[in-house]
Chains A and B, each alone.
Chain A
Amino acid sequence: MKSIQDLDRIRQKSLEKVNLRRNVEDANVEAEASGEGLTDGKPKDVLVCGGTGCTSSGCQKIINKMEIQLEKHQLKKEVKLIKTGCFGLCEAGPIVIVHPEGAFYSRIKEKDVEEIVEEHLLKGKVVTHLLFKGAIDGDQVKPIDEVDFYKKQQRVALRNCGLISPEDIEEYIAFDGYKALSKVLTEMTPEEAIDEVKKSGLRGRGGGGFPTGLKWEFTAKAEGDQKYVACNADEGDPGAFMDRSVLEGDPHAIVEAMAIAGYAVGADMGYVYIRAEYPIAVARLQIAIEDARKFGLLGKSIFGTDFNFDMEIRLGAGAFVCGEETALINSIEGKRGMPRPRPPFPAHKGIWDKPTLLNNVETYANIPQIILNGAEWYSSIGTEKSKGTKVFALGGKINNTGLLEIPMGTTLREVIYEVGGGIPNGKAFKAVQTGGPSGGCIPADHLDAAIDYDNLISLGSMMGSGGMIVMDEDNCMVDIARFFLDFTVDESCGKCTPCREGTKRMLEILERITEGEGEEADLNKLESLAKTIKNTSLCGLGQTAPNPVLSTLHYFRHEYEAHVKDKKCPAGVCQGLLQYLVIPEACKKCGICANKCPVNCIDGVKGKEVYVIRQADCIKCGACMAACPFKAIKKG
Chain B
Amino acid sequence: MAKNLFTEENFSRLDEVIAANKETKGALMPVLHEAQRIFGCIPLEVQKVISESLKIPISEIYGVVTFYSQFTLEPRGEFVIGVCMGTACYVRGAQPILDKISQLTNTKVGKTSEDGKFTLEATRCIGACGLAPVITVNEDVYGRLELKDIPAIIEKY
Contact = CB atoms under 8 A, between A and B. Distances in A.
Contacts of A57: 130-131, 143
Nearest to B144: A57
Interface stretch (B12-20, B21-29, B73-81, B149-157): B21-29
Interface string A287-322: 000000000000000000000000000111111100
Interface stretch (A203-211, A233-241, A358-366, A371-379): A233-241
A334 B126 contact: no
Nearest to B126: A277
B33 A317 contact: yes
A436 B88 CA distance: 11
Contacts of A128: none
A417 interface: no
Contact of A469 (B26, B28, B33, B88): B88
Given A320-B124, A333-B26, A469-B91, A56 B33 contact: no
Contact of A315 (B30, B63, B90, B91): B30
Interface in A22-54: 52-53
Given A239-B87, A239-B88, A278 B124 contact: no
Contacts of A84: none
A81 B128 CA distance: 24
B64 interface: yes
B134 to A, nearest CB: 7
Contacts of B86: 238-239
B32 interface: yes
A560 to B, nearest CB: 18
A241 B27 CA distance: 28
Nearest to B29: A334
B70 A52 contact: no
Interface residues of A, number: 52
A94 to B, nearest CB: 11
Contacts, number: 128
B69 to A, nearest CB: 4
Interface in B36-95: 56, 60, 63-64, 67-71, 85-88, 90-92
B132 interface: yes
Classify chain B: how many residues form its interface, as a range: 35 or more
B129 A314 contact: no
Interface in A333-348: 333-338
A317 B87 contact: no
A93 B29 contact: no
Contacts of A319: 67-69
B125 interface: yes
A53 B130 contact: yes
A397 interface: yes
A467 interface: yes
A476 to B, nearest CB: 10
Nearest to B86: A238
A469 B89 CA distance: 10
Contacts of B67: 319, 336-338, 493
Contacts of B70: 276, 317-318
A278 B126 CA distance: 8
A241 B63 contact: no
A249 to B, nearest CB: 13
Given A315-B29, A317-B70, A334-B26, A90 B130 contact: yes
Residue among A52, A331, A395 with max Cβ neighbours from chain B (10 Å): A395
Given A90-B128, A317-B70, A402-B130, A335 B88 contact: no
Given A53-B129, A56-B128, A278-B127, A397 B91 contact: yes
A602 interface: no
Nearest to B60: A335
A244 B88 CA distance: 16
Contacts of A493: 67
B5 interface: no
Nearest to A90: B130
B104 interface: no
Contact of B25 (A352, A397, A467): A352
B35 to A, nearest CB: 12
B141 interface: yes
Contacts of B33: 276, 315, 317
Nearest to A474: B91
B87 A393 contact: no
Nearest to A437: B87
B90 to A, nearest CB: 6
B71 A56 contact: no
A93 B130 contact: yes
B130 A91 contact: yes
A314 B28 CA distance: 11
Nearest to B24: A312
A396 B29 contact: no
Closest 5 CB pairs of A and B: A90-B130, A334-B28, A395-B88, A317-B68, A238-B86
10 contacts: A52-B127, A53-B127, A90-B130, A90-B131, A239-B86, A317-B29, A335-B64, A395-B130, A401-B130, A493-B67
Interface of A: 52-53, 55-57, 89-93, 236-241, 244, 276-278, 314-320, 331-338, 352, 393, 395-397, 401-402, 433, 436, 467, 469, 471, 475, 480, 483-484, 493
Given A317-B68, A332-B26, 10 more contacts: A53-B127, A53-B128, A93-B130, A238-B85, A239-B87, A315-B29, A336-B64, A337-B67, A395-B87, A436-B87
